[in-house]
A and B are shown apart, each in its own frame.
Chain A
Amino acid sequence: MAEVSVENSIEPGRKGNAVSRFVWTYVFATDHKVIGLQFLFSSLIWFFVGGFLALAVRWQLAWPWSDMPIFGHMLFAESGGQMSPGFYNMLFTMHATIMIFFVIIPILAGAFGNYLIPLMVGAEDMAFPRLNMMSYWFMWPAFGCIILSFFMPEYGASAGWTSYPPLSVFQGDAQSLWLLAMVFVGISSMMGSINYLTTIIQMRAPGMTMFRLPMTVWGMFITAIMQAFALPVLTAALLMQLSDRMLMTGFFLPENIAVNNGVATSGGGQVLLWQHLFWFYSHPAVYIMILPAMGMVSDIISCFSRKPLFGYRPMVYSITSIAGLGFIVWGHHMFISGMNHTLAMSFMVSTMLIALPSGIKVFNWIGTLWGGKLQLTTPMLFCVGFVSMFVIGGLSGIVMSAPPVDIVIHDTYYIVAHLHYVLFASSVLGVLGAIYFWFPKMFGRMMNEKLGKIHFLLTFIFLNGTFFPMHFLSRMPRRVADPYIYEGLKDLLPLNQFMTICAIGMGLTQLIFVANFFGSMFFGPKAGRNPWNANTLEWTTVSPPPHGNFDVQPIVRRGPYEYSHPETERDFFPQTESS
């Protein structure tokens, strides 16, 4: 078995012509770094697709029923370029689906998890390289299903990313494709999380105790646990909805529900069952989408403050308790569903409790920044942006955890503001910061600082321009193609136009990032092993790291945040360095 190891055949520099070498190295790769980059690139591509969908949503909200530029005439030639209300439903559904399942989760867990975990714990690769490859390749059927669903008569699933039955059960075939895609994403994530957990538990370098792990790895570790426990429930629910659609079973359908003048006799289920099962995964998913970013931000902030991370252990405990609490708060998404009141109250209490560990984290980041020798590099700017935006997103979250408040603002733009402050203004800023931070390690070249700072500044301004005014729109319902048919909402049009302009600006700003990314990949200044003078293990090896990651056996002697340590003249103290 050892002689016919598949890894060998994939190693760069194998015999064979250039094409087959390329295919084996970059397509059927088992190296965690290549797989990480595969996740990174596919997520970034989907990021732009999802962004376009968001811009189309904004277009409709700013200039309702006007001709869409370019795409209008391609898709809606007969109506002269206006989108249909159904198309609008598709837009927000697919925007959320793509951003959550194809962008944020894969880029955090898939790209950074894959790339960083083995490097940071001092392993040559993931525990199961081939499983890792499978985990990436199971994303492709999902991509295929979603792409195919765009070509269905309704241009894609349009029951909302939450896919509440009974509506979702009676949608067109695109919904089935959506469900299938989610099942594949689930399988991919499950494989990934098992791999991460095994790697972190079993493959840490000598001396790398659990409490010497960088926060990034802690974030990934907790995230992987959450995925492992929460995802199967979603998979089960997806399969049940699929069978409700394909076999006309009635897990989520009430009795004798009448559809298209016919009666679906096989009832007896409960729509709330879907909501419970769905949110049992999808609320933890909210933390899956932010905990790794929190970990990476902690690392970056500590590095550029040239100070140890303030309260390492409390940070670890708060991540863990966020994860634990995250499992028992899902019901706060369902306050207006007519759920049991006592249950709602217990969900309210647990939701409010989450503010506690989140507050600890914010406090610790500020404590880290306080009195540090701040280096305002691009990644640092993004991370400071992350912290400030997370405060806004977190606070608005506490507001709506109370059912009486939530009943009023549910499904309004206040919620949209909240979730975008958490997912875009926090997670995505964190991801961008992480890309700027680890780009030198990934490609061996530095990204352009000036362009990076412009990118940050514009993104920061435009995202606040786009999302902050949404806080004032707590009377504007979301998921409505034309809210201005209501007399009382007509005055919101100018504000929405302002937000749309900001959103377009934000979209255009990302082109700077694209230019910087690809430009630096080929023409950036060469980065050494440790351009940021950081402590963690990945910086002790070459950039980009070779197959097998390390040229010397890493022996870990201290925690990851020993910046400005009194025992050494330099202001950093790598984890492996003997004192």
Chain B
Amino acid sequence: MIETDSIDQGSSEKSNTKVFVLVFLMLCVLTGLSFWVANSYLMENKVVGWAAMMLVSVAKALLVILFFMHLWWERAWKYVLTIPALFMGVLLVLLLVPDVGYRYLTYSKDRRENAPEPVVSEPAEVSDATPKLD
């Protein structure tokens, strides 16, 4: 009985080590992937690139949480902690968006004149003497 126990233990150790090495390799690959995305055609549409990189990050975070932090092996209490925290975090950021994230849309004229200069993509004509912002 004891022997089988110790054998079980040994094998589970080994598989754990294997899992950790595998997770490590996946993390490295994913890091490379997000680096690749940042310099690839996906960034031509920024939103697509950002979404892809965030997805990669979420995947990496999940790998770390599930395996390195052993949440994969924990019982149901893990949901009690992680889901409210996740919910609160997302909620906070989402509710900041209308007021702070979209603040530029509601800038006063005065503030717009002092706002950071947006990059003008096409060269404007020098002789054009009309004011740029109104």
Contact = CB atoms under 8 A, between A and B. Distances in A.
Contacts of A327: 88, 91
Given A254-B111, A255-B111, A327-B88, A268 B116 contact: yes
Contacts of B114: 254-256, 267
A340 B85 contact: no
B88 A340 contact: no
A280 B114 CA distance: 29
Contacts of B111: 254-255
A515 interface: no
Nearest to A233: B92
A229 B99 contact: no
Contacts of A256: 114
A328 interface: yes
Contacts of A339: 98-99
A327 B95 CA distance: 11
Contacts of B88: 229, 327
A497 interface: no
B115 A276 contact: no
A249 interface: no
A272 B103 contact: yes
A530 interface: no
A273 interface: yes
B96 A276 contact: yes
B84 interface: yes
Size class of A's contact patch?
A: 10 to 19
Nearest to B103: A270
B99 A272 contact: yes
Contacts of A152: none
Contacts of B98: 339-340, 342-343
A270 B92 contact: no
Given A254-B111, A327-B91, A273 B96 contact: yes
A273 B96 CA distance: 7
A229 B100 contact: no
A336 B107 CA distance: 17
Interface residues of B, number: 16
Given A254-B111, A327-B88, A270 B99 contact: yes
Interface string B102-113: 110000000100
Contacts of B99: 270, 272-273, 276, 339-340, 343
A527 B116 CA distance: 70
A28 to B, nearest CB: 32
Given A229-B84, A229-B88, A276 B100 contact: yes
A331 interface: yes
A256 B116 CA distance: 10
Given A229-B88, A233-B92, A328-B91, A255 B100 contact: no
B33 to A, nearest CB: 30
A256 B96 CA distance: 23
Contacts of A273: 96, 99-100
A331 B95 CA distance: 9
A440 B9 CA distance: 55
A249 to B, nearest CB: 15
B76 to A, nearest CB: 13
A114 to B, nearest CB: 23
Contacts of B92: 233, 280
A343 B116 contact: no
A343 to B, nearest CB: 5
Contacts of A340: 98-99, 102
A272 B100 contact: yes
B116 A229 contact: no
Interface string A94-120: 000000000000000000000000000
List the 5 closest pairs (A to B, CB-CB), nearest first. Answer: A340-B98, A256-B114, A255-B114, A272-B99, A270-B100
28 contacts: A229-B84, A229-B85, A229-B88, A254-B114, A255-B111, A255-B116, A256-B114, A268-B115, A270-B99, A270-B100, A270-B103, A272-B99, A272-B103, A273-B96, A273-B99, A273-B100, A276-B96, A276-B99, A327-B88, A327-B91, A328-B95, A331-B95, A339-B98, A339-B99, A340-B98, A342-B98, A343-B98, A343-B99
Interface of B: 84-85, 88, 91-92, 95-96, 98-100, 102-103, 111, 114-116
Given A272-B99, A276-B99, A340-B102, 14 more contacts: A233-B92, A254-B111, A256-B114, A268-B115, A270-B99, A270-B103, A272-B103, A276-B95, A276-B96, A327-B88, A328-B91, A339-B99, A340-B99, A343-B99
